[in-house]
């Protein structure tokens, strides 16, 4: 890839990232007090479990996403290698997401009642928040391999654009549903919808720009032939 093209892509990605960070401040300055006023202190505290669990995305990545970004960048002209690394990473994420969901479904009741000691009157809401947060976490987790392929090809702008879209959708959607039905159940719907949107957008972009990662089999010879045709 031409150096000037890479610089242009990195610049666009950086600007998009800065825009996302700048917009996040007023969005959360509005959303947080509004959610607190609509839910009340106790229920807002229950919903805060969602933030804690979703934040674990950055802590439980184990470096697989960054490793895939690097391997895609190093093998940018070798579709077979990219496809192989993507497949391995995707299955790792799928297994980890499945294990997480399984553990949450099995142990949430005990966690809420015995570890966190949530009052019995709030037990159902707390369990719901944990389950919906785990599902949202899994959706975002499964988006990581597709995001890595995109970023490995230096398309950081699109990655930041999706994150910005999530910020707007989640914030505006949360404010809207809280105005209609101020409870954790309506916020849970927005959480699932916003993270599902992220997953679908990353899959769509990957299929559009890098469809070879979805193909099974293939050979280095065929990839070399494609590169030869592109150069001639």
Domain boundaries, the chain: 3-224
pLDDT at position 169: 94
Q: What's the pLDDT tens digit per position in 67-123? A: 999 999 999 889 999 999 999 999 999 998 888 888 888 888 888 888 888 888 899
State the Cα–Cα distance between residues 80 and 86, nearest whole angstrom: 10
- Statement: residue 222 has pLDDT above 60: no
pLDDT computed for residue 116 by the predictor: 82
The model scores a pTM over 0.75: yes
For residue 166, the model assigns a pLDDT of: 92
Q: Where are the alpha helices (DSSP H) in 56-78?
A: 64-74
pLDDT score, position 11: 73
What pLDDT score was predicted for residue 88?
A: 93
Query: Each residue of 34-82: pLDDT tens digit?
Result: 999 999 999 999 998 887 766 665 566 678 888 999 999 999 889 999 9
Burial of 152 (0-12, 13-18, 19+ CB in 10 A): buried
The full 3-state SS of 189-225, as one line of letters, equals HHHHHHHHHHHHHHHHHHHHHCHHHHCCCCCHHHHHH
In the chain, the percentage of residues whose pLDDT exceeds 90 is: 50
**What is the predicted pLDDT for the residue at 9?**
67
Q: Which of 57, 88, 74, 67 is nearest to 191 (CA)?
A: 57
Contact 5, 153 (CB under 8 A): no
Write out pLDDT tens, residues 2-43. 566 666 666 776 777 787 788 888 988 999 999 999 999 999
- CA nearest neighbour of 220 among 85, 91, 83: 83
Residue 224 has pLDDT above 60, yes or no: no
> What is the Cα–Cα distance from 67 to 61, expressed in whole angstroms?
10
pLDDT value for 89: 93
* Mean residue pLDDT across the chain: 85
CA distance 108 to 106: 6
**C-alpha torsion angle, residues 59, 60, 64, 70 (rounded to 10):** -10
* pLDDT tens by residue, 178-200: 999 999 999 999 999 999 999 99
Question: Residue 124 — pLDDT band, cuts 50, 70, 90?
Answer: very high
Look up tokens 């959607």; give the residue.
Answer: 173
Residues 153, 209 contacting (CB under 8 angstroms): yes
Q: What is the pLDDT of residue 5?
A: 61
């Amino acid at each position: 890839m031409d150096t000037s093209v890479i610089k242009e892509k990195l610049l666009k990605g950086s600007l998009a990232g800065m825009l996302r960070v700048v917009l996040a401040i007023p969005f959360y300055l509005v959303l947080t007090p509004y959610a607190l006023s609509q839910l009340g202190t106790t229920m807002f505290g229950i919903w805060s479990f969602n933030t804690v669990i979703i934040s674990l995305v950055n802590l439980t990545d184990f470096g697989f996403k960054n490793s895939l970004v690097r391997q895609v960048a190093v093998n940018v002209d070798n579709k077979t290698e990219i496809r192989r690394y993507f497949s391995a990473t995707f299955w790792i994420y799928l297994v980890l997401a499945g294990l997480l969901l399984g553990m949450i479904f099995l142990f949430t009741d005990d966690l809420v009642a015995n570890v966190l000691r949530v009052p019995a009157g709030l037990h159902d809401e707390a369990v719901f928040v944990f389950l919906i947060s785990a599902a949202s976490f899994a959706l975002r987790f499964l988006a990581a391999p597709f995001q890595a392929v995109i970023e490995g090809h230096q398309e950081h702008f699109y990655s930041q654009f999706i994150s910005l879209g999530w910020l707007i959708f989640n914030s505006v959607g949360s404010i809207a549903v809280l105005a209609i039905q101020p409870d954790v159940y309506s916020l849970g719907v927005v959480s699932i919808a916003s993270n599902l949107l992220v997953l679908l957008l990353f899959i769509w972009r990957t299929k559009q720009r890098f469809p070879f990662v979805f193909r099974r089999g293939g050979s280095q010879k065929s990839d070399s032939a494609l590169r030869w045709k592109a150069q001639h």
